[in-house]
Amino acid sequence: MHALKQKFSRFLGPDSLIFFAAVFFLVAMYEMAFEDRFILILYYIAAVGSAYALVCRRALGLASAVVAVVAATMFAQLYYAAQPTTWSPVFDSIRDMAALGAVLYLTVRVLMASYRLQREEKQRALENQIQEQLVAMRAQALRQTSHEVRTPLSTITAISETLLDGSTGELNESQREFVQDIDDSAQHLLALVNDILDYAKAEAGMIRLAPQPVALAELVDQCVSMVTVKANEEGVSITAQVDAELNEVIADPLRLRQILLNLLSNAIKYNSSGGSVIVQIRPDTNDMFRISVRDTGRGIAPQHMEHLFEPYYQAAIADQGIGTGLGLAIIKHLTELHGGTIEVESVVDTGTMFTIRLPREAEVCDEPEADHSLRPDDAVFKLDLASV
């Protein structure tokens, strides 16, 4: 019964009402239309208007049916007004029946093709809607899970940093090593959770840019300072060069910093002791600028290049490939949000260079999304454990 009601409701939907109203009008006005010019004009206005309304509603099959009705009335009027062609008294009727059959066959084929296209279009629209809902649900689930995980991790990093800086008393060597391991593991997990959350938001289309004036030299200095400790631990030197012409660009500073930090972190992680990383920012065209990050690491094998920006794909050797494999996918998404492109060149055992081209003025988002994602470098607060 429920299925029957659904079919009945679809049958009496807006598309069907438009179609039947148009057909009723065309049938009722058929005789008068060919006797009065003004009524003929109204006749075709109703036909074309209803067909246009159905096309706008993606009801291609019904729109084609309306056109077919108009074509049939025109054909009938012209057919009976035209003088008959006589070839042979025996074959004239057979010829006319065969020709009319061909016309009917082609008309039916056109209507069937139109209905098939309409059905496929509705199926695609339904699949897209389902996919969007699934992406939104997955993003919501990941967001909630990530929040539940980030909160205790943030607390762990805050406590471990407080212990390490001596606020609660000096630690002996063994204690310091244990606490440092706890802090490193918590920072690593926090970075992974943030990557997963960022990718979920990107996949769901939830990241919105908030462009504003950005001093590139200052931003690069901040990013280099944030990775200097890690670079020193790995024995990697970092050099930054910003063209004097690029004093300021319009971009989202948070996302631009995220791009640079990810590129720098990768360049350090996949480098070798004694290696170097060179960051260059210079003009590309009149309205574009270029960011290149070159390292002297192990490089990327050719078979990995085509998959490099795929989510959860890692081209690194297992001993250094710890992570989600989302960093480059996120970088690519953020670059494209700015209206830019990303390229990579790599030679095995020589090094890799990522080149990002961005517009000097990114489009301003009317409703920028406030992003309060907690990053490892944002955990600047400390707990006063001495008072506990």
CA 178 to chain centre: 42
362-376 confidence digits (pLDDT tens): 875 544 343 433 343
Higher per-residue pLDDT: 91 or 335: 335
CATH class, domain 209-364, is alpha beta
Q: Are 195 and 210 in contact (CB under 8 A)?
A: no
Place of tokens 């008959």: 84
The whole-model pTM stands at 0.56
Q: What's the CA gap between 303 and 322, in Å, rounded?
A: 20
The pLDDT of residue 250: 92
The helix (run of H) or strand (run of E) holding residue 174 is helix 173-203
Nearest CA to 155 among 189, 178, 121?
A: 189
Q: Are 324 and 336 in contact (CB under 8 A)?
A: no
Instruction: Collect all residues with Cβ–Cβ distance below 8 Å to 159 and sequence separation of at least 6.
Output: 383, 385
Residue 239 has pLDDT above 90, yes or no: yes
Q: How many CA within 13 A on the CB side of residue 162?
A: 16
Nearest CA to 50 among 81, 78, 23?
A: 23
The pLDDT of residue 194: 77
Q: Are 361 and 289 in contact (CB under 8 A)?
A: no
3-class DSSP assignment, residue 295:
strand
Share above pLDDT 90 across residues of the chain, in percent, rounded to a whole number: 23
The whole-number average pLDDT for the span 263-274 is: 91
Strand-strand pairing, 351-359 and 288-295:
antiparallel
Residue 386 has pLDDT above 70, yes or no: no
Q: What's the CA gap between 371 and 375, in Å, rounded?
A: 11
Residue 1 has pLDDT above 60, yes or no: no
Full DSSP string of 75-110: HHHHHHHSPPP-S-TTTHHHHHHHHHHHHHHHHHHH
Binning pLDDT at 50, 70 and 90, where does residue 220 land?
Answer: very high
> Angle 334-150-139 (CA atoms, 0-180°, nearest 5)?
50
Q: What does the CA dihedral 159, 165, 171, 174 come to, rounded to 10 degrees?
A: 80
| Six-digit token string for 88 | 């042979």
The whole-number average pLDDT for the span 16-28 is: 83
Residue 218 has pLDDT above 50, yes or no: yes
Sort 236 into a burial class: Cβ within 10 Å, 0-12 / 13-18 / 19+: buried
Binning pLDDT at 50, 70 and 90, where does residue 380 land?
Answer: very low
What's the whole-number average pLDDT of the chain? Answer: 80
For the chain, residues classed under CATH 3.30.565.10 are 209-364
Instruction: Collect all residues with Cβ–Cβ distance below 8 Å to 110 and sequence separation of at least 6.
Output: 64, 68
Q: What's the CA gap between 262 and 335, in Å, rounded?
A: 12
Binning pLDDT at 50, 70 and 90, where does residue 320 land?
Answer: very low
3-class DSSP assignment, residue 152:
helix
The pLDDT of residue 360: 92
